[in-house]
Amino acid sequence: MTETPRIALKGVTKRFGAETAVDAISLNIAAGEFCVLVGTSGCGKSTTLRMINRLIEHSDGEIHIDGQPIREIDPQRLRRRIGYAIQSTGLFPHWTVARNIALVPGLLKWPRARTLERVEELMTLLGLAPSEFADKYPAQLSGGQAQRVGVARALAADPEILLMDEPFGALDPITRESLQEELRRLQGRIRKTIVFVTHDMDEALKLADRLVVMRAGRIVQQGSPAELLAAPADEFVASLLGGRDRGLKRAALTPVARLMRPVDARLPMEPAVAPDEDLRLALSVMLWHRVETLAVVDGEGRACGSLHLSDLMGGGI
Amino acid sequence: MSAVAIWHRYGRGLAPLLWGAGLVGLLAWLPRAEGFFRWLAPGARVVIYPRDDFTALLLNHLALVGVASGLAILLGVGAALVVTRPWGRDFLPLASQLAAMGQTFPPVAVLALAVPSLGFGALPTVVALVLYGLLPILRNGLAGIEGIDPAVREAARGMGMSPGQVLWRLELPLAAPVMLAGIRTSVTVGIATAAIGSTIGAKTLGDPIIAGIVNGNSAYILQGALLIGVLALTLDSLFEALTPRRR
């Protein structure tokens, strides 16, 4: 492929005094790719992320954005064209939700009307009714709502690149899952280049186009979630991927539609799964109802296929 | 609207006006209150402090506090900002220690130390007031800026705000209530402390008090004390009215 990657890291190293936090890593991220950096605490994933918008300067190597070395770009200008969302949101407590979202457009001196329109658009996109939330202060929001505002703020000036540092790490499991779901849906529409840091492998598997596993400042393995699950490079990656739980994690990556057979009229409509649900869920439903075949029923309640346990076992996952 | 509701709504703005009116009223009443003070101090030959006009003393007192507080605010807020910049961080521990230490230092001791180096009169009083008033301002300035959630600053930087924008749009507005509280303490304490300046020859509302103590005239003491008290309350309520309400 001759296309310039959106973000390119070449032999990037970061030293803090005598300690090497990031050790000569190389990584190409294509435009529109959802890249998740995953690893245990202190593996250098956050440092790597923060080097991309120059919150931390790299000690060695080169980072290019659209082919241009970032050292040549004024840091403030660089950051204004890169969205940034963090775990604790960092919303300005003395500004309303609308004003928080309008931060970067304000820095870029967008005309007022355009900013207002964009703020409204983003709030709607992220499920925050403008009439209800625009004039609220961050202290009046729940954790999930505050994180939505954080994401909206990061997207406000329509940046090509979005950096997210464990944005859902502090949320309860239910809110976290629904926000992951929404982020995936959102990414389907906006196709940004996203670099996402997390230590939660389930989150990584769910979101990533490309998974980058880091350990002690180095990249241990990178590839699509399916590739990593199929062939983890070593024990460390395997254990991070859940060890013997890997079978289920892989099943969770495959939609029911992939293994669906034609409609079987003899099957009852209950129990059933939807074609866009994943095989892990299907397996759980089979286990619960003690059946080896399930009807596949679409959102309108029409049967559209059937699913057989033998196909799951036959290497379909 | 009931009286309570009116007070609830406009009280904060009204209080400094009421106290100010009280102060003016006091200035007008004191020279004519011979009867009251004669009853209070029957043994004294003169019962109204005669050496200076109360208004002149009040204005002088205010001028001393005004100059000293102005300097203290400039120095205190300035120092708090300098030691919280990346290039001034090295001095942060020193500034915090100074601010903490200053609170244990009685104002009279500052005055006593100022006299040998600066002599008598208004100058050593102003110096002592500045030194003493500086510390609550510095301490609250540091607390206000250091109290800002580091994630907020990180986000501001990550969004591409310049250091100046971070200072003006983030740090100062967020630190303002705490900073203002420090300035309020400093000015209020300054009003009281300035009176001690009378012991080293500055012209202040402390003059009648000192004269009263020396001559055993409780009427003089009460006149000075009343004026200082009402003046302090007026300014304090003014700060209360000016402090932005936190949500």
Same domain, A216 and A296: no
A92 touches chain B (CB under 8 A): yes
pLDDT at B1 over 70: no
Q: Given A77, A90, A94, which is nearest B155 (Cβ)?
A: A90
Instruction: Dihedral sign for Cα B197, B201, B207, B213, please.
Output: positive
- Whether the CB of A103 is below 8 Å from some CB of chain B: the reply is yes
Nearest to A107 among B149, B160, B174 (CB): B160
Residues facing A305 on adjacent strands: A296
In which band, very low, low, confident or very high, does the pLDDT at B235 lie, cut at 50, 70 and 90? very high
Q: Cβ of B155 and A78 within 8 Å?
A: no
ipTM greater than cut 0.90: no
Q: Which of B160, B174, B247 sits opposite A137 (nearest CB)?
A: B247
Same domain assignment for residues A95 and A155:
yes
> Which residues in chain A are closer than 8 Å to B156, comparing Cβ atoms?
90, 92
State whether B154 and A86 contact (CB < 8 Å): yes
Q: pLDDT tens digit string along A30-81? A: 999 999 999 988 899 999 999 999 999 999 999 999 999 999 999 999 999 9
Among A206, A225, A250, the domain-final residue is A250
Q: Of A219, A250, A281, which residue sits at a domain end?
A: A250
CB contacts, 8 Å: B152 with chain A: 90-93
Q: Which of residues 124-163 of B touch A (CB under 8 A)?
A: 149, 151-162
Do A178 and A286 belong together in one domain? no
Verify that A240 and A272 share a domain, yes or no.
no
Mean pLDDT, rounded, of chain B: 88
* Residue A265 binned pLDDT confidence (cut-offs 50, 70, 90): confident
CA distance B133 to chain A (A): 29
**Is A76–B170 a contact, with Cβ atoms under 8 angstroms apart?**
no
Among the partner-chain residues B160, B170, B174, the one whose CB lies closest to the CB of A79 is B160
**Phi–psi pair at B216, nearest 5 degrees:** 65, 40
**CB-based contacts of A99: which residues, under 8 Å, 6+ apart?**
A92
User: How far are the Cα atoms of A54, A99, A166, A204 from residue A87, in angstroms, in the given order?
Assistant: 18, 20, 5, 15
Q: What is the mean pLDDT of chain A?
A: 91
Cβ contact A104–B159 (<8 Å)? yes
Is the residue at A1 inside a domain? no
Cα A160 to Cα A7, A139, A155, distances in angstroms:
11, 30, 9
Tell me whether residue A2 is in a domain.
Answer: no
Model confidence band, residue A2 (pLDDT cutoffs 50, 70, 90): low
CA distances from A257 to A84, A183, A278, A306, B112 (A): 35, 22, 9, 9, 89
Cα–Cα distance measured from residue A198 to residue A39, given in angstroms and rounded to the nearest whole number: 7
Amino acid type, A198: T
Q: CATH number, domain at A166? A: 3.40.50.300
Q: For residue A132, name the pLDDT band (cuts at 50, 70, 90).
A: very high
Q: Is residue A312 within 8 Å of residue A292, measured between CB atoms?
A: no
* Count of structural domains within chain A: 2
**A153, A101 Cβ separation under 8 angstroms:** yes
Instruction: Name the token pair of B77.
Output: 């807020």
Taking residues B108-136, what's their average pLDDT? 84
Q: Which of A142-146, A242-246, B22-26 has the lowest mean pLDDT?
A: A242-246
The whole-angstrom distance between residue B136's C-alpha and the CA centroid of its chain comes to 10
Q: Range of A176's domain?
A: 7-250
Confidence of residue B178 (pLDDT cuts 50, 70, 90): very high
CATH number for the domain harbouring residue A292 = 3.10.580.10
Q: Strand A68-69's sheet: what is its strand order?
A: A19-29, A7-16, A60-65, A68-69
3-state secondary structure of A160: coil
**Contact status of A131 with chain B (Cβ, < 8 Å):** no
CB contact under 8 A, B155 and A86: yes
Say yes or no: A114 and A223 in one domain. Answer: yes
Q: Which domains, from first to last, does chain B contain?
A: 53-242 (1.10.3720.10)
